[in-house]
Amino acid sequence: MAKTKPKKKMSAKNIAAGFLMALLALSLLGFGVEGFGSRSQNVASVGDRNISANTYARAMQNELRAFQSQMGQALTMEQARLFGLDQMVLEQLVNNAVLDNEAARLGVSAGDTTVQREILQIGAFQGLDGSIDREAYRFALQNAGMNESEFETTIREDVARSILQLSVISGASAPDSLVQPLLDYQAQTRDVTVLSLSVENLAEPVGRPDQATLQAFYEANLDRYTLPEGKRISYAWITPEMVIDTIEVDEAILREAYEARLSEFSQPERRLVERLVFSDMESAEDALARINAGDATFESLVAERGLELEDTDMGDVTRAQLGAAADVVFALEAPGIVGPAETTLGPAIFRMNAILSAQEVTFEQARDQLRDEQLADLARRVLSDDYDLYEDLLAGGATVAQLGQETEMQSGQMDWRPGMTDGIAAYESVRDAAEALQEGDFPEISFMQDGGMFALEYLEALPATPRPLPEIETQVIADWQNERILEGLRAQAEELAMALRGNGDAPELNIAPVRFDGLRRTDIMPDLPRDLVAATFEMDTGEVRIVESANRVHILELHAVESPDLMLDDVADLRSALEMQIEQSIAQDLFGYFSNSLRQTTPIRIDQPMIDAVQANF
């Protein structure tokens, strides 16, 4: 049965620490933001607090870098505004200032000892021995455009806000009246029996319909075989493959590409290695002796140290990466355990699991691969250079068909309907453009996923059209047979259901019922449709229900409904997880209401010209 792993319940101290460290991390991400001079410039005033241009710039830089880290690409300020990131940053700063005002009004503050303790916990300021490095501290703050006093004030305010937050949410708790129904819903179990009927249970095969029967079935179900409305579209397109034969690649470029990727084509011998480090050589020698004597295994030694095997995994390593231990490990001609050997972390024993031979791909061997890659890249560049030509022709009144006549683009027509994936419609961007195309739309050049380009022009609407029977006769026959199968199975299932309800005799069928006890909503019935589980939880005790699938019919009989057993570990874990989720949700709502109420009573003034000036510097 599926188990839900509960989240660990957080103490008030943990919440404060997490909240504070998140804010500290954001403060430190802004290294490198340039200041706006020594004169006082604020982007907003909130009550008695001012939000300086430097503060806004750092926060904006942090958000842009976080987005770049998440998405893998840089974001311009114009794009950031489209995503609303600038407003999100401003809202956060205003909220913080509102809370700072309230903390000051209530006299909530953090002492010097607390501020010192938080600074000492920041890794960016620590030296090699783990103590605070004053030079690293000053240098980091200087890069962030801050001095020590400003940074320590920021930390003091962060701590004060976290104290204020905890005072608001400390009373949040999950009421049993909310937890118990959710627990009953998720952890309630059912005992059910399933009988499944398939084509093998029919007394005789359904056979094949004659032509008249097939025609009648086709006409009665014409909507199944009718093509949806579509559009006749004129198109012009060009892909890198269409121009690749017209491009030559200089041999020097290929050799340059080979040299740039030499590490890929020339790899030294490597070994798959696991390493277990000890505090001293004697301990390492004793461990290896126990393995050799058969008293321990590498796995058991790892477990004794409280580690997992992945903690020891070094992956595939070269001689250079193993350093002083290379001779010991590379002396093995087959997988095994060797050591001890000194490493930068201390004495260690090694388990070598596989030998990866050296690989040497010469330029001649790699030439075709490099040429294809370079050709594809050059072809995309050639197409990109012609973009303005195609756009100018369309702007000058050329039709899509004329693009195919006057340029290297290839033109044609297609009868596009939803679901089409042939030819040019194999490209997702073309399908999306075809779906959005309307009568009167001006054709424009768009890009395809491989760097190609296309243009579409609306010609006329295509009405819904039935597909001729001869084209789809095999499909229609299969549909007719499937309906006859379901009719026969449905009749047998009704007899079985009546017998189970005590209203008749069961037909003699060679069916083995399958019983599921303690079934939960998240469980599955092996080899049976997923919706049978959902149907089971819609039934009452003693109910018998018939459920149809594609070509099978199932009879469900519900025997019992059991409430969750709180003595079971997984049920107790699920209850704890629900309580945690509800408490966190309530706490979030409480703090949101609190912040909003403060904003309504706090004067807020935004200096948009100053915000624009800050954004211009990006």
Is the pLDDT at 200 greater than 80? The verdict is yes
Separation between Cα atoms, residue 337 and residue 274, nearest integer Å: 9
**Bigger pLDDT: 371 or 288?**
288
Q: What is the pLDDT of residue 7?
A: 39
Q: What is the 3-state secondary structure (H, E, C) of 343-366?
A: CCCCCEEEEEEEEECCEECCHHHH
Give the pLDDT band (50/70/90) at residue 126. Answer: low
Residue 434: is its pLDDT beyond 90? yes
Say yes or no to pLDDT of 457 above 50: yes
pLDDT confidence of residue 18:
47
DSSP secondary structure of 330-347? HT-SSSEEEEEE--TTS-
d(CA 154, CA 161): 11
Note the pLDDT of residue 163. Answer: 83
**pLDDT tens column, 481-510:** 999 999 999 998 988 888 888 866 666 777
Question: What is the distance between the alpha carbons of residues 328 and 279, in angstroms, rounded to a whole number?
Answer: 19
Q: Which CATH architecture has domain 230-248+366-459?
A: Roll (3.10)
* Alpha carbons 60 and 82: distance in angstroms, whole number: 14
Per-residue confidence (pLDDT) for residue 72, from 0 to 100: 66
**Average pLDDT of the chain?**
82
- The pLDDT of residue 114 is 80
| Backbone region of residue 423 per phi and psi (left: phi > 0; alpha: psi in -120 to 50; beta: other values) | left
Determine the pLDDT at residue 133: 65
**Residue-level pLDDT at 29:** 41
Are residues 174 and 582 in contact, defined by beta-carbon separation less than 8 angstroms? Answer: yes
Region 313-336: mean pLDDT is 84
Same fold, 12-171+601-616 and 269-357: no
Q: What is the pLDDT of residue 209?
A: 93
The pLDDT of residue 129: 54
Greatest mean pLDDT among 277-291, 302-316, 382-396, 469-483: 469-483
Amino acid at 301: L
The conformation of residue 200, written as its DSSP 8-state character, comes to G
Q: For residue 38, what pLDDT is reported?
A: 40
Checking if the pLDDT of 374 tops 80, the result is no
User: 411 has which bridge partners?
Assistant: 236
How far apart, in whole angstroms, are the C-alpha atoms of residue 413 and residue 64? 44
Residue 13: pLDDT over 90: no
pLDDT at 254 over 80: no
Fold that domain 269-357 belongs to in CATH: Chitinase A; domain 3 (3.10.50)
Region 566-580: mean pLDDT is: 85
Residue 186's pLDDT is 85
pLDDT of residue 255: 74
In what helix (H) or strand (E) does residue 44 lie, and over which residues does it extend? strand 42-46
Sequence-distant (6+) residues with CB within 8 A of 615 are 60, 77, 81, 86
For the stretch 541-565, pLDDT in tens is: 999 999 998 888 999 999 999 888 8
Residue 455 confidence (pLDDT) above 90: yes
377 has a pLDDT exceeding 80: no
Q: What values do phi and psi take at 404, rounded to 5?
A: -70, -25
- What lies within 8 Å, CB to CB, of 474 at 6+ separation is none
Say yes or no to pLDDT of 352 above 80. yes
> Does the structure show a pLDDT above 80 at 155?
yes
Q: What average pLDDT does range 508-518 have in this prediction? A: 84
Look at the chain and count its residues: 618
Q: Residue 317, Cα to own-chain centre: how many angstroms?
A: 30
Residues 6+ apart with CB under 8 A from 124: 28, 136, 140
Window from 112-126, 130-144, 317-331, 334-348 with minimum mean pLDDT: 130-144
CATH topology of domain 12-171+601-616: Triger factor/SurA peptide-binding fold (1.10.4030)
Supply 457's token pair.
Answer: 């022009």
Please report which confidence band the pLDDT of residue 71 belongs to, taking 50, 70 and 90 as the band edges: low
Q: Which long-range contacts (CB under 8 A, 24 or more apart) does 78-82 make?
A: 81/615
In this prediction, residue 263 carries a pLDDT of 66
- Locate all alpha helices (DSSP H) within 425-568, ordered by sequence: 428-436, 473-500, 531-536
What pLDDT is stored for residue 111 in this prediction?
79
Query: How far lies 225's CA from each of 181, 479, 616, in Å?
Result: 47, 11, 59
Q: Once rounded to an integer, what is the mean pLDDT over residues 308-318?
A: 83
Render pLDDT for 167-198 as a digit per residue (tens, 0 to 9): 888 777 888 888 888 888 888 899 999 999 98
pLDDT of res. 123: 66
The residues spanned by each domain of the chain are: 12-171+601-616, 189-221+473-562, 230-248+366-459, 269-357
Say which residues have a Cβ less than 8 Å from residue 400's Cβ, sequence separation at least 6.
Answer: 234, 235, 236, 394, 411, 443, 455, 456, 457
Share of the chain above pLDDT 90, in %: 21
Kindly indicate the confidence band of residue 132, based on its pLDDT and cuts at 50, 70 and 90.
Answer: low
Can you tell me the distance from the alpha carbon of 152 to that of 498, in angstroms, rounded to the nearest whole number? 79
